[in-house]
Structure 1
Amino acid sequence: MQIRYFLALSLLPQLVLADETETVAASSSQCVVVPPVKPYVPLYEMNTPADLERIYISSDRSAAQMGKQATFNGDVNFSQGGRNIAADEAILDQESEELHANGNLVFQDEIFTVTADSLVAKMRSNSAVLSGAQYWLTGQQIHGDADRLEITKENNLLLSGTNFTTCPGQDPDWLLEADRIKIDSTEEWGEIWDAKIKIAGVPVMYIPYMTIPVSDKRKSGFLFPSFSTSTTNGVEVATPYYWNIAPEYDLTFTPNYMSARGLFTKTEFRYLAGEKQQGQLNIEYLADDDKLVNSPDRYLYHWEHSGAINKNWRVLANYTDVSDNNYFNDLSSDVQRATDNQLTRIGEISYFEQNWDFSARVQDIKVLGEEEKPYQVMPQFTFNYRAPSYWHGLDFNLYSEATNFEHQDSEYSTATRVHLEPSISYPIHGPAGSLTSEVKLLQTNYWQDDKSNLSNSELSEHVNRTLPQVRIHGQVNFERFTDYFDTNYRQTLEPQFQYLYVGYEDQSDIGIYDTALLQEDYNGLFRDRRFSGLDRIADANQFTLGLTTKLFNEQNREVFKFSLGQIIYLEDSRVGINDITGSNDTFVQENTSNSAIAAELTTQLYSDWFLSGSIQYDAKESENKKSEVTVDYRPGTNKLLQASYRYVPDLLNTNTNESVDIKQIGFRGAWPINDSLYLVGNWYYDLNESRAVETYTGFQYESCCWAVRLSYHYRIKTNYIDEDNPVQDTRELFESGIYLNFVLKGLGGSGPLGVSDMLDDGLFNYRKPLYLKN
């Protein structure tokens, strides 16, 4: 069990005019803080610089002495540019060019509204001092008091004896008090001296000095620290430091002390390379982890870069490495989550023209928790050429690649593969349907160096494989207007068929370098390949039949979709993929006349009820190959109830190398108890193991100016076998924790709290039924 506390604070919001739509979305009408005065509306247009300098004065009574003073009484209004001063009395000293005003004093411009006891404004320098001030930022909830508020000639803002809050009413739930605040309008940064935060009138934090942004402009300095405590890491204190090196470079360094493990440091360096390239470098390091035997060092380094060199050239690079398999399970990384177990390393450069493109890449994948390592692509060159309608409506395409496969272990075979795939197709498209006929020639050459030393492994040194392929795909579109349950709909009926022929050739003398079996869902029935990669190209002589029907309501929104299809094999396929151990003469063979039936359904059952499901069913064996179904009830914003079932057979357990079936049910919900309090929870249960794999319950209360969330999380952990870095005590199979999040709005915005954030907080993120796919 672990308990963590997180206080999200940053000590001043941006002093900028908020967009009206954002303001409405961010707060309800009960939360809007409105100044107790009418908004100022300029009485004249300001189209020229002269208009901005011109002074307008109106009052009930006035008395003036030429060249000296002018006195105004009763409903005085003084306007210059976008500023307006309203008062009971004002005195304009023409010699010193000063304006003194008092009595029901109101100062307004486009940024804020201020009421004060008195005002002294210097016209020549365009500065002013207000005493006994109360201020409200336009379009925001921020308001406060200041003993003295000064607007300098540089248009900077100086506040003395000041405070601010975003809470409505005379007794705010939280309040920040400061001896002095300076806002620099040019640098767009503020400085705060002797600040303290009060919650319910009780001081909870003191900060002697800090600088804060009042816009999105960057500045070097310490970011707000975070605190947490857990039984796994002990007491944690993290204090990030941000270094604004240059407009195109910055760096964030975060020392994170964990009493149970030691000092964990995280460094993130970001950069811009010209206008169209960007990247970042992450380095994370924990020396002498006390939780592990022999206290090993643990580390991560990550580099990514992408962008365009010019209109034709593109570059991409991504590299990540960690010290051990359980790095992401034990430590909170800024790069990947604990559920990620693949580290992809890619370097690629590409060139694009209208009808052709070329790319060169290297690739390596590190799979955490697996002993067997994938092959490395060192390197791969691809060339694609497209010639649409090059002769009497015929399209010509050419795909080609040259790939060299290497392996980190010397006992594995290596290979070089050259593949050419020219194709000629004749597409016919129209509103009533389409028909595409295609002919391909699949020409592949392998040069292999067999180092496996297995008695049953007979890889040929050189393989020349030539396979013809013919594919005919057609679809017909039918449409009619109908009604169901007294509701008008537009219904479509879209039957489609495909004939596929691929020649046969024995491929048992070719190693497996980048090939795997593809999923056979409804869309997969109409592929022209059974395997990814090129090491196995399955022979085929088959028909695929499919049917899709849709319903559209009067607003032309799809409310129902059902698809059903199956492959009819005219001949058995004799090419399969090898088993796990590396024996290249053991293959899976299609000894059936039909494939599994694949069906998919998405529909709006009624009003706010939605249903989604898919199944792959073997009618010959009366066996469910894969299925999932989800029912959603979504009656409004932040209201959700979902029930789901998922079945996937024969998944490989990487720790035991055994096949397991996944059979799970799940329930997820989010519901407001009242306007300020709502509940989010989920529960997923493994029917095979008779145990819950994840439970999450969270309550959140949100008012106008603060929010709090209390949540409980229980979930299965991903623990990989790592002989180099064992743990002193046995790793727990499940992890549980109680989390408390507290946010003061205006001292960090709305923070991470929200229904969508809670729905995504877990192993099983929420997905709408329409997008419920693997």
Structure 2
Amino acid sequence: MSELPDEIRRSLPDFCEGGYLPSTVPPGLDGQTAPEAGQSPLQASGLNARYEIDSELYLRGDVRLQQAGFRVTGSEARYNQTTGSVSIEGPLTSRGEGFLLTGEQADYDVNSGRVDINTATFLLHGPEIRGSAGRLSRTAEDRVQIRQGSLTTCAPHSNDWAIVASDISLDQGEGVGTAKHVRLEISDIPVFYWPYASFPIDDRRKTGFLYPSFGTSNAGSGAFLSVPYYMNLAPHYDATLTPQYIHGRGLFTEAEGRYLSSLGESVLQVGYAGNDVEFEDEFPGEDGERWGLDFSTRAAFGGGWSGYGDYSVVSDDDYLSDLNRTLEINRATHLLRRGGVRYRDSSQYFETYLSGYQTLSEFIADENVPYSQLPEVVYGASVDAGPTVASLESQYTYFYRDNADLAGLDRANGQRFRVLPELALPMRALWGYARPSVSVDYTRYELEDYALGDPGFDRTVPVAEWDSGLYFDRQSSLFDIPYNQTLEPRLYYAWADAEADQEFIPDFDTTIRSFSFDRLFQRNRFSGGDRVGDTNQLTVALTSRFNDLLTGTERARFSVGQVHYYDDREVTLAGQGASDTSDSPLAGEMILRPLAGLEIRTSGLWEPDTHKTEEGRSQLVFHSPDYRYLASVGHTYRRNEFEQTDIGGVFPVTDRVSLIGRWVHDSQLDRTVGSLAGLEYNDCCWSVQLVHQNYLTDDEELESRMLFQIQLKGLGGSGGSSSKISEAISGFDERERRRFGGR
């Protein structure tokens, strides 16, 4: 380690014992690169030489030989001119583009370029593979044959793991290694044996078995073992087959296929269990055959056009929690099926799609099942007309749901057409801006199974808005760091003359927006298109920023604002959304970045009348420059509803051992609703993670599972703990990328 240049030593992680110097090709004896072996003369030099004409050349002392890509130094050499063979005595060293060979004795064929070395060691710089061999043959510039050898990707002088085999072949041209009678040794102790193995030696894809995965949980899937098999079928498509055995459930198989065309990528994932015994016992009368499917595709057609598709389906509500390993579907209550095309240019956009869902949770009532859009068509455009800007947003949707068992508004299906033309006068200067605008929010319905009157009706709402702001700044310094402070007051006025009674309109896709600082500048308190809120309001807000002039980083931002209502709000959705208060709660947010890697965020709502906090969310996130240290602390609060505290992080105990943990506590329930605790060992060439996780299921029970993952650098890994830890701890995925992205 101490022999490495400072620049390379500083780039190595703390848990590495050493590294390798970059590969260099020694110059030829004449300073030129020679042609291929067999077509170029052998160049040789030594301190002493004896030459027999047309017979033999004998060199002794600081011997150097070169022919094409072969270069070697040794103590003695004999060159037989008749046979073209060279015998070299060591200790010898041979360097080339991307490799280093050493040995005690070698034979070299001038005509073929083959070199055979006895008692050899080798280093391939690209994949950082090194090893030893009883006999090593370099049969071509990118091919090496090893007899009675071993190899590893560990740092110099470290053999935490090694592959030992009777015959090893390394093909750098194909990026593939093969071996016979293979055993994996951990700290010189054999732990696994294969009669034959094929493995990648670079980043190129290779057909073959991947590392097995295994794990266990106290619910759902139980203990399992899987052995994935990867198939590199062609440069533009591949597949992975994952048969696995699950205790109590039997054989379960998953498969993934990926296809890349000139338009984009498509991915198909399926899972199948033919006879799930535990599922049959839990649900008498149900078939033990279970399956899941997830398909996604993306395409870019050119000229601003693109297409997409997403389709997910499972055989039953419990499939995801019981069986799913590879389907890219998180635990969900609705599975989306959506596909369509888009167009966008500088002045307009267009999209049309079909969308639907599979509802999984049995706790969702029929009237709360989301509607399908069959289809939805969206078009928008904007045009500069002198100093004004004219724009248009429009949407056509046919909503459908199986409402045969429902009554009233919940039974309705039908068409909705909505259009919002707007005329605005944007004005902008360095010191501020103003944007007055007028628009019309028009909606037309044509309904089916509608029992409250004429199924065809419309709604027209005139809207006026004025958004304006000023920009002040000054420069100063703090702790000898120059910064720029801004002061940005903002006024936003909105008026919408909507009819109070809109309860005769079905609720196809509408919800009440949650209130926050960002919502201060939106005139409609409803999302979706089935309610247009009546409003006559003025928002007053103030933002101040502190920008570091040396780095350009926004070190701090403080924002606060409030809405004053001139009229009561009377439009409701399912009886909610109306209010007669004259002022909203104070909404604020704060972001602090005092140090690189440290960010503190807080936001909330405070009610001046009651002097109580209605909502609050605070979070501290920290990571060291190398992401070895990770920490996050969060608190979420909504008055009379819930309060949760979230603490997580990764803390190195030594250069190689780190503790991993997360804890989520619900104060209202007075219980832990999620936890994760584990240990990680890191070396320069391998790592292991062992994690215990608890998480709350839909039926309010804590499910426990053990997660395990081992990584051998250069040979991949097994288990699945990293993905779960990344979901729980901010920054862990970046930590993984840096750790195995290279030394």
TM-score range, shorter chain: 0.7 to 0.9
Matches within 5 A, 1:317-396: 317-336=309-328, 338-369=330-361, 370-371=364-365, 372-387=368-383, 389=384, 391-396=385-390
Counterpart-to-counterpart distance in 1, 2:218 and 2:132: 44
Taking structure 1 as reference, are residues 707 and 219 closer, same or farther at Cα in structure 2, changes over 3 Å only?
closer
- 1:7-22 alignment runs, 5 A limit: none
- The question of 1:207 aligning with 2:194 is answered yes
Q: What is the aligned partner in structure 1 of residue 300 from structure 2? A: 308
193-202 or 710-719: bigger deviation: 710-719
- Write the letter of the residue equivalent to 1:395: V
Asked whether 1:263 is paired with 2:248, we answer: no
Distance (whole Å) between structure 1 residues aligned to residue 85 and residue 682 of structure 2 = 47
Counterpart contact for 2:202–2:714, Cα < 8 Å: no
Q: Which residue of 1 aligns with 2:118?
A: 131
Residue in structure 1 matched with residue 18 of structure 2 by the alignment? 32
Query: CA, structure 1 residues 337+681, in 2 after alignment: closer, same or farther (shift >3 Å)?
Result: farther
Matched, 1:162 2:152: no
Q: How does 1:652-663 map to 2 (within 5 A)?
A: 661-663=641-643
Aligned mate of 2:592, from 603, 627, 637: 603
Aligned positions of 1:723-742 closer than 5 A? 733-742=701-710
Deviations 1:393-432 (A, max 9, x none): 2112111221111113334211111122211111112221
Structure 1 window deviating more from structure 2 (299-308 vs 330-339): it is: 330-339
1:111 maps onto 2:98 in alignment: yes
Query: C-alpha separation between the residues in 1 aligned to 2:241 and 2:9?
Result: 33
Bigger shift: residues 515-524 or 95-104: 95-104
Identity among equivalent pairs (%)? 27
**Secondary structure at the counterpart of residue 278 of structure 2:** coil
Q: Is the 8 A contact 2:63 2:73 kept in 1?
A: yes
Q: Which moved more, 1:595-604 or 1:552-561?
A: 552-561
**Closer, same or farther: CA 430–171 of 1 in aligned 2, 3 Å:** closer
Distance 1:34 1:496, change over 3 A: closer
* Residue 24 of structure 1, CA deviation: 7.2
User: Contact 1:33 / 1:141 at 8 angstroms: preserved in 2?
Assistant: no
Give the equivalent residue in structure 1 for 2:726: 760
Tell me how far apart the structure 1 counterparts of residues 524 and 7 of structure 2 sit (CA, whole Å). Answer: 50
Contact kept in structure 1, 2:36 and 2:69, CA below 8 Å: no
Secondary structure of 1:611's match?
A: strand
Deviation at 1:191, TM superposition (A): 1.8
Matches within 5 A, 1:235-634: 235-273=223-261, 275-292=262-279, 293-294=283-284, 296-336=288-328, 338-369=330-361, 370-371=364-365, 372-387=368-383, 389=384, 391-410=385-404, 411=406, 412-451=411-450, 458=452, 460-483=454-477, 488-505=482-499, 506-555=501-550, 556-578=552-574, 586-604=575-593, 610-632=599-621
Listed one character per residue, the Cα deviations across residues 426-471 of structure 1 (whole Å, up to 9, x for unaligned) are: 11122211111112122221111235x6xxxx36411121221111
Contact 1:33 1:140 in 2 (8 A): no
- Secondary structure class of the residue paired with 1:760: helix
| TM-score in terms of structure 1 length | 0.85
Deviations 1:624-656 (A, max 9, x none): 332111245556642244432111357xxxxxx
Deviation at 1:376, TM superposition (A): 0.6
Deviation of residue 352 (structure 1)?
3.3
CA distance in 2, matches of 1:61, 1:377: 89
**8 Å CA contact 2:512, 2:577 repeated in 1:** no
The code of the aligned residue for 1:625 comes to: E
Deviates most, 91-100 or 263-272: 91-100
CA contact (8 A) 2:228 2:242 kept: yes
CA distance, structure 1, for counterparts of residue 595 and residue 147 of structure 2: 61
Partner AA of 1:239 in structure 2: V
- Kindly state the Cα deviation for residue 25 of structure 1 after the two structures are TM-superposed: 5.3
Structure 1: which 5+ runs fail to align? 1-19, 579-585, 651-660, 720-731, 769-774
Candidates 51, 64, 71, aligned match of 1:77: 64
> In 1, Cα distance between the equivalents of 2:607 and 2:40?
83
- SS state at 1:31 partner: coil
Please report how far the alpha carbon of residue 708 of structure 1 lies from its aligned counterpart in structure 2 after TM superposition.
2.9
More deviation, 504-513/290-299: 290-299
Deviates more, 1:393-402 or 1:608-617: 608-617
Q: Any conservation in 2 of the 1:328–1:336 contact (CA below 8 Å)?
A: no
Q: Distance in 2 between matches of 1:340 and 1:21?
A: 48
Distance (Å, rounded) in 2 between the aligned partners of 1:750 and 1:33: 25
- Asked if 1 retains the 8 angstrom alpha-carbon contact of 2:182 and 2:193, the reply is yes
For residues 53-76 of structure 1, give each alpha carbon's deviation from its aligned partner in whole angstroms, at most 9, with x where no partner exists. Answer: 564322112222333322211101
- Cα distance in 2 between the residues matched to 1:695 and 1:256: 27
Shift in alpha-carbon separation, 1:554–1:735, aligned structure 2, 3 A? same
User: Match of 2:147, SS?
Assistant: strand
Is residue 448–residue 459 contact of structure 1 (8 Å, CA) maintained in 2?
A: no
Tell me, in whole angstroms, the C-alpha distance in 2 between the residues paired with 1:226 and 1:607: 37
SS of 1:291 mapped into structure 2: helix
Deviation sequence 1:368-402 (CA, Å, 0-9, x none):
31233111100111222221x3x322112111221
- Which residue in the other structure is 2:48 paired with? 61
CA offset digits 1:236-277 (Å, max 9, x no partner)? 23122223333322221111111311111101111123x132
Q: Is the 8 A contact 1:460 1:509 kept in 2?
A: no
TM-aligned CA deviation for residue 187 of structure 1 = 3.5
Letter in 1 for 2:229: Y
Instruction: Report SS of the residue matched to 1:309.
Output: strand
* Stretch of structure 1 that moved more, 98-107 or 592-601: 98-107
Counterpart CA distance in 2 for 1:209 and 1:86 is: 35
Gaps of 5+ in 2: 1-5, 734-743
Counterparts in 2 of 1:277 and 1:417: CA distance versus 1, 3 Å:
same
45-54 vs 315-324, which moves further: 45-54
Q: Answer yes or no: is the 8 Å Cα contact 2:231–2:238 preserved in 1.
A: yes
- 1:525 is paired with a residue whose SS is helix
The verdict on how the C-alpha distance between 1:459 and 1:281 changes in structure 2, with shifts beyond 3 A counting, is farther
**Take 1:400 and 1:269, find their aligned partners in 2: how far apart are those partners?**
38
Are 1:182 and 2:184 matched, yes or no? no
Shift of 1:484: 5.2
Instruction: Give me the whole-angstrom Cα distance separating, in 2, the residues matched to 1:766 and 1:97.
Output: 60
Q: Report if aligned partners of 2:441, 2:460 keep a CA contact under 8 Å in 1.
A: yes
In structure 2, C-alpha distance between the alignment counterparts of 1:539 and 1:701, rounded to whole Å: 60
What does residue 3 of structure 2 align with? Answer: none
SS of the aligned residue for 1:592 comes to coil
Cα distance change, pair 485–126 in 1 and its aligned pair in 2 (3 A): closer
Distance 2:532 2:31 in 1: 75
SS at match of 1:114: strand
2:205 is the alignment partner of 1:218:
yes
1:647/1:21 CA distance change after superposition, 3 Å: farther
Instruction: Check the 8 A contact 1:342/1:367 in 2, yes or no.
Output: yes
Q: Which amino acid aligns with 2:662?
A: N
TM-score of the aligned structures, taking structure 2 as reference length: 0.88
- Assess if the C-alpha contact under 8 Å between 2:708 and 2:719 holds in 1: no
What is the match of residue 17 of structure 1? none
Distance of 1:140 and 1:32 partners within structure 2: 15
Q: Give the C-alpha shift of residue 487 in structure 1.
A: 5.7
Distance (whole Å) between structure 2 residues aligned to residue 752 and residue 225 of structure 1: 10
Q: Structure 1 residues 138, 251: closer, same or farther in 2, change over 3 A?
A: closer
Per the alignment, residue 741 of structure 2 pairs with none
Q: CA offset at residue 141 of structure 1?
A: 4.7
- Bigger Cα displacement from structure 2, 594-603 vs 700-709: 700-709
SS of 2:511's equivalent in the other structure is coil
